[in-house]
């Protein structure tokens, strides 16, 4: 049976909603191109979010990727390039 990969839009929506919950900001005011820190996430919350992302979508995510690709857009671009997301 072939593994079903999540769609980029699905992961982006989930990430933006998690950031909105963590920062208590309306999701429609958040820019996915801004660094996580600029959106109001501290490093502890960002690392926890990477673990939650693994649990939600079932793929392994090195917690340091949050720092190597420090925005929603950059992280999604990396995951897409690595074949983790559905094309």
Domains contained in the chain, CATH given: 8-81 (1.10.1200.10)
From the number of C-beta atoms within 10 Å of its C-beta (0-12, 13-18, 19+), residue 14 rates as middle
Q: Picking from 5-9, 32-36, 46-50, which range would have the lowest pLDDT averaged per residue?
A: 46-50
pLDDT at 82: 94
> What mean pLDDT, rounded, does the chain reach?
93
SS3 track for the chain? CCCCCCEHHHHHHHHHHHHHHHHCCCHHHCCCCCECCCCCCCHHHHHHHHHHHHHHHCCCCCCCHHHHCCEHHHHHHHHHHCCCCEC
- Is 0.85 surpassed by the pTM of this model? yes
Mean pLDDT calculated for residue range 58-80: 93
The overall longest dimension of the chain from CA atoms, in Å, is 41
pLDDT at 1: 59
With a pLDDT cut of 90, the percent of the chain lying above it is: 82
Q: Is the pLDDT of residue 36 over 80?
A: yes
């Amino acid at each position: 049976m072939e593994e079903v990969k999540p769609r980029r839009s699905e992961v982006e929506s989930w990430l933006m909603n998690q950031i909105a919950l963590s920062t208590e900001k309306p999701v429609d005011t958040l820019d996915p191109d801004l660094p996580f820190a600029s959106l109001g996430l501290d490093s502890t919350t960002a690392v926890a979010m990477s673990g939650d992302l693994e649990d939600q979508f079932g793929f392994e995510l090195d917690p340091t990727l949050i720092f190597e690709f420090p925005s929603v857009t950059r992280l999604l671009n990396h995951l897409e390039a690595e074949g983790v997301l559905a094309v």
